[in-house]
Structure formats: structure tokens, C-alpha cells
Amino acid sequence: MSERPAQRNLVLILARNFAAQLATAVFLVDAEGTVIYYNEAAERALGRRFIEGHGMPASEWSTVFAPRDHTGDHLPLEQIPLGIAIVRRQPAHGVLQIRGADGVERRIEVAAFPLFAHSEDFVGAIAIFWEFGEAG
């Protein structure tokens, strides 16, 4: 038998295809929290192209963009919406300050939720975000 090639779960494939069509920023991670996709709008907000950010582990993306709360205190992975979606497997929402790889400070609003292919089959998480005030 030939060796089986890698295959992403269909939920992740559909999430990526959906994100690729959206003008809103979308950030997609696998079940371990590793970056598997972000779209062009997210590239602009993060100041980093996907080709450069692909494969970043959670420990990196949760620090490299310096997420902070409204008082300026650093937020650990477990307290940012996408981290909550991965660690607690719960949906989460929040407003935070980040610094893009281009050095630009941005205040963003994030909605994140875990992705389950079946009730016990956690395959990853997705965050949709926009610059705070932009949507209103």
C-alpha cells in the first residue's frame, strides 16, 4: 500500500475555505493551537503574511503580538479569546490591544470559538476579529 498523505479534517478545510472568502480577519488553529491559516484581512491586522506565520505554535502567537488588556497588562494565552477556545473549549469574546509584526498598535475585538467535528472530536479553533470601533 502507498503511504497515506496528510489530510486535514473536513471542518478545518471548510473553515479555511470560508475564511479565504471573507473580508473580515480570520485566524484558524488546529487542536494543538498551531496556526494553520489566516486570511488576507488578518495579514493586514497582524502585519505579517500567512506564509511567514504558518506553523506558529500557541506559545508564539500568544506572545509575539503582545496581547494586552485595557490597562496595558499582558494577557496570557488562557485569558485571550482564542486561548480560551483552545484551552477550555468554550466560545469567548473580548477587546484587546495588540502590536502587529509591522510595529503598529491596534485595538481589536475578537470572537473565538472551538471547532468540534463531532461532540467529542475537537479539531481546532477559529477567531474572527476586527479593529475596535471598525464594525460600529
71 binding another protein? (CB under 8 A): no
2 binding another protein? (CB under 8 A): yes
**Cβ proximity to another protein, 1 vs 135, nearer residue:** 1
CA distance 72 to 50: 27
Residues 34/8, Cβ–Cβ less than 8 Å: no
**Cβ proximity to another protein, 78 vs 121, nearer residue:** 121
Of 17-25, 57-65, 68-76, 90-98, which segment contacts another protein by CB under 8 A? 17-25
Site for another protein (CB under 8 A): which residue of 88, 104, 117, 131?
117
Residues 61/76, Cβ–Cβ less than 8 Å: no
Q: Any idea what the Cα angle at residue 53 is, between residues 47 and 57, rounded to 5°? A: 125
